[in-house]
A and B are shown apart, each in its own frame.
Chain A
Amino acid sequence: MDFSNFLMMHQELGLLSIFVILLFFDILASGTRYMRWFRAVAVGLMSLQTIFGFFPMPEGAAFGGMYVTSDLTVLMKNVLNIGTLIVFMQAGRWLRQPENSIREGEFYVIATATLLGMYLMVSSGNFMLLYIGIEIASLPAACLAAFNKYKEKSAEAGAKYILMTALSSGVMMFGLSYLYGAMGTMYFADMSLGVALEPMTILGFVFFFSGLAFKISLVPFHMWAPDVYEGGPTATTAYLSVVSKAAAVFALLLTLHHVFGGMAHVWYYMLWVLTVATIVIGNLFAVRQKDIKRFFAYSSISQAGYIMLGVLHGTEMGLSATIYYIFVYLFSNLAAFGVIASLENRSGQTDIAAYNGLYKTNPKLALVMMLAVFSLAGIPPLGGFFSKFFIFASSAAEGDYVLVFIATINTVISLYYYLRIVKAMFINSPGEDSVGPFKTDGFNRASLVICVAGILFTGILSGCYSYISAVGFGLIQ
């Protein structure tokens, strides 16, 4: 038997071995003093995985086309790795709290399992593997959302997430069954040849697309996102809003252009309407939020709309701008969630009122939050400006000026609610809800430093975008 197929998926195998190591570490060391090394081991293994991901890898397909790897999928997996690594670094303090300490290892193990599912989503060559990947990614994520076992909000978030995700995967499978009926195959490569404009194909595609849109939280399918983001633990919220969303966008991007490229004029209008609705509704609902996690949920919904702007046209520039946007969004959003997590660990507060006068009590955290929020809004020297610029430019290059116009107006609206947080931190004086000066732990500080470096330098260092755009073009047929 030829084992060379397995070499191609060595990133998956590496992650699987991390999963097994962490699982056994958790089982054997649970309750002993070795448990305090757990987070260091998890972060260390994850950073090894991240670093090894940047080494060049062979391209090709394994297992009869079931599994596909290329420079593009490796790049996508690297982005997911970085996000997971930062979430691991930020989660430690919350997991050390007395009510969670017995379950400390489970968080890392479950998160690694979801990451494995996301790997499969990104590099699948067959809809069956894609479906399995989505399920591996979303079922454990429901456990993560319900992780705070004794909090009612967390249980509610878990219940909402698992039911919505099960419904969405049922809808998606229904679409896949019609696609299978119309074309007789589940392989991407064979399907892309057989895409014809039959009503059944279009029906199947619509069902499939809405199932995937649930995961990205595009607007008619976004109702679960604010509740789950608010109720779930902050580390889970960060994970869902960045890594899980990024993986779903990558999967959508690959399937849209690999499989359904032949019916682009059908899904173009669908996606156009969803993009506009996502940006506008996400923005308008974010304006009236009082809870900061719920606020960032709506903000991340509207960010998903901006991401879709690049997916829409499928040009080389649009696709590399999409990946670049996600890359910058990852740093900005995780910086914000790092600050939210450290404040929540300290005081248990998630109201925006708790941020009043943060600059006077904790100037460094306030600065990190300000950079993150400015980057999400797209203020010039930061990475967020360049990612928005590239994604708008890619859309304008195709002559889609109406969409760019709507998106630009919404950027201005978004500035209003992002500045509300900055105002609370810098201008308002500390109220009774505010927290006093405190120090976060070393891992969290390191993660914030990484995020700030990412926000500051991904935009200015042009090598970052050119690295992505040099890789991205393998997708275009």
Chain B
Amino acid sequence: MVTMEHYLIVSSIMFFVGVYGFITRKNLLAVLISIELILNSVEINFCVFNRFLYPEHMEGMFFSLFGIAISAAETAVAIAIIINVYRIANNIDVRHIDKMKY
């Protein structure tokens, strides 16, 4: 039997894997993928809470639908900016994006 807790464990692991990846990854695209992990874990959370705890409303489902749409927009903007970085610096390694520090 898969209970709500199992889903929540999966989503929490996804969230913190995303945060870990955001901090440690060296490639901008990998950082972006880590952010997608975070957003997807949130969407799992919303759907699970809605289905198990409050099945009479659809609020959580709608939130995750909006979340998916917005994260797609976010990815589009981020990739556009990353392409621009690549054009200028010929590199998308975060260690080379260090013109401004301290």
Contact = CB atoms under 8 A, between A and B. Distances in A.
Chains A and B bind each other: yes
A231 interface: yes
Contacts of A166: 32, 35, 39, 74, 78
Interface stretch (A139-147, A248-256, A330-338, A462-470): A139-147
A158 interface: yes
Contact of A143 (B22, B49, B67, B77): B77
B24 interface: no
B82 A159 contact: yes
Contacts of A181: 45, 49, 53
Interface string A141-164: 011001001111101111110110
B38 A174 contact: yes
A177 B46 contact: yes
Interface in B61-90: 62-63, 66-67, 70, 73-74, 77-78, 80-82, 84-85, 88-89
A177 B82 CA distance: 29
B99 A156 contact: yes
Contacts of B73: 135, 139
Contact of B81 (A142, A150, A185): A142
A129 to B, nearest CB: 10
A124 B49 CA distance: 23
A149 B32 CA distance: 21
A166 B54 CA distance: 28
Interface in B18-77: 18-19, 22, 28, 31-32, 35, 38-39, 41-42, 45-46, 49-50, 53-54, 57, 59-60, 62-63, 66-67, 70, 73-74, 77
A298 to B, nearest CB: 11
B100 interface: yes
A139 B41 CA distance: 21
Given A167-B22, A180-B49, A180-B60, A159 B28 contact: yes
A146 B84 CA distance: 9
B69 to A, nearest CB: 9
A128 B62 contact: yes
Contact of A173 (B39, B59, B80): B39
A71 interface: no
Chain A interface main SS type: helix
Nearest to B64: A177
A83 B89 CA distance: 34
Interface residues of A, number: 42
Interface in B87-102: 88-89, 97, 99-101
A63 B1 CA distance: 40
Contacts of A26: none
A142 B77 contact: yes
Contacts of A274: none
Given A135-B70, A139-B74, A230 B45 contact: no
B89 A152 contact: yes
A104 interface: no
A171 B89 contact: no
A139 B77 CA distance: 7
Interface centre among B32, B62, B84, B89, by most A CB within 10 Å? B84
A174 B99 contact: no
Nearest to B73: A139
Contacts of A167: 19, 22, 35, 38
A60 interface: no
Contacts of B18: 170
A160 B31 CA distance: 11
B97 A185 contact: no
A106 interface: no
B89 A177 contact: no
A301 to B, nearest CB: 14
Nearest to B38: A170
A131 interface: yes
Nearest to B50: A180
A171 B38 contact: yes
B74 to A, nearest CB: 5
A434 B65 CA distance: 54
A169 B38 CA distance: 10
Contacts of A131: 63, 66-67, 70
Contacts of A159: 28, 78, 81-82, 85, 97
B3 to A, nearest CB: 14
A158 B84 contact: yes
A161 to B, nearest CB: 8
Contacts of A135: 70, 73-74
Nearest to B47: A177
B100 A153 contact: yes
A178 interface: yes
Interface of A: 128, 131-132, 135, 139-140, 142-143, 146, 149-153, 155-160, 162-163, 166-167, 169-171, 173-174, 176-178, 180-181, 184-186, 226-227, 230-231, 294
13 contacts: A128-B63, A131-B70, A132-B70, A150-B88, A152-B99, A156-B85, A156-B97, A156-B100, A159-B81, A162-B74, A173-B67, A176-B63, A184-B57
Given A152-B99, A163-B28, 11 more contacts: A128-B59, A149-B84, A155-B85, A156-B85, A156-B100, A162-B81, A163-B31, A177-B60, A178-B45, A180-B63, A185-B59
Which 4 pairs across A and B sit closest by C-beta, in order of nearness?
A170-B38, A177-B45, A181-B49, A173-B42
